Structure 1
């Protein structure tokens, strides 16, 4: 009976830790407001085309560089007469999509690589982490440009190219956590009953890494969006007629003396999106911090 009670107590304790984390996050007003803003922007990116009367690719030669609130164009038009509001909605959708998908790519590679290296240790760990160090030594933008020019530019490749670089930091974080977990009692118990390495990693190591992984993932998305924006400034980002926030800002910077709204409004949306993501990530980090749990 005693071991069963101990097991149940462990389950309740784990639930309590996550419950405490949720309560701490709810008590973080800054993070909640940021989450609401982020949810609103995400909803706008998805439902926006249903409420905007103009298409993002519709050209009106009679409304070139029209200022905001002109003939139904809420935020004005660009050099081709395309509605800026419709293009910002599309750009926001693509930027968020790039951020989420590239982060998922880095998550899958980084968590798998880091957990295997950290759990197995020894020579395997040394070889795997030296590979990470070797890739880290390459300049980020140089590595992405090589991938995109080698396999030709396309929409899907942007996800893969950025995600193929961002996984390196994830692997290091996960590896460090896995090293500390492999000596824990429940891992020793799993080995004692004859469980092999793969099931231990999948069932015990990875689930116990969820806290740090979730936090780092939310902080990776803004970095990915900024990376795509930088690529867009170099002409390596999303190609016409599609657009992203980075493309819109790059185009707006070229025409800012003629049409200030082409730079101001996309920049505002970019800042609001990145700031919200960072504040939500900070709130999750504070809520899931084990030291905060111990002090509570």
Structure 2
């Protein structure tokens, strides 16, 4: 009886081991099993929208930190503060976002929307951005962290915000957008915070588009090489009738008329008399002769 119980226990133990190995093997073979990159949230499902098939972007679609689709046109009529960053930045990005967090806390409840676009979307998935936002205590009602496709984000930076964006490379300036979509400022958060606050207060108070010259109006596209809007040259256009400085002018040779030289009369020159320097004579000749003494009487 004891031998039978021992054999039964051994069989149960063996069956449990086989079941465990089978389950583990199935998990290894599953294509939807969580991988290491998915655990830290670096893999996401994002497709560039069809609206990107234009020469010049005027709006865009990305994913926010919750994984929801974000449409830039949803902020039409809002004052906005836009910046670029990436979560793995070892230096300035977190300092920049700490400054933005203070602005968002003060101006978010007043109606300003804050957008932070990553330039490292391959790593910065919505899950990563959510943890980053939580660390900054960012209110999603006012502050969106956006990710998507790097090439598409580069176009967003160039076409809409007029900023160069590369993988893990970005400008430190904050772009201030008014209610009509005009870029009114590109300011440094380290040295121009008073100006940033003053401009935000001004733009919030505006009820109609002001008659001021914005930094960028109508967001002209960048040219691929020069970075200037299409139709603009690197140098200012010359005035009507003026020649472009790069075009050399061919000067027509002018025939010089021979000039007759009038003979000049030479005036006789008077020779000045030269004073002859006295010659040194023998000192014996210059001395007067010695007087001749008469004999004494």
With the length of structure 2 as denominator, give the TM-score of the two structures.
Answer: 0.21
Question: Which one has a larger percent strand, Structure 1 or Structure 2?
Answer: 2
- Greater RCO (Cα-Cα under 8 Å, separation 6 or more): 1
**Which entry has the higher C-alpha Rg, 1 or 2?**
2
With the length of structure 1 as denominator, give the TM-score of the two structures.
Answer: 0.21
Question: Which one has a larger percent helix, Structure 1 or Structure 2?
Answer: 1
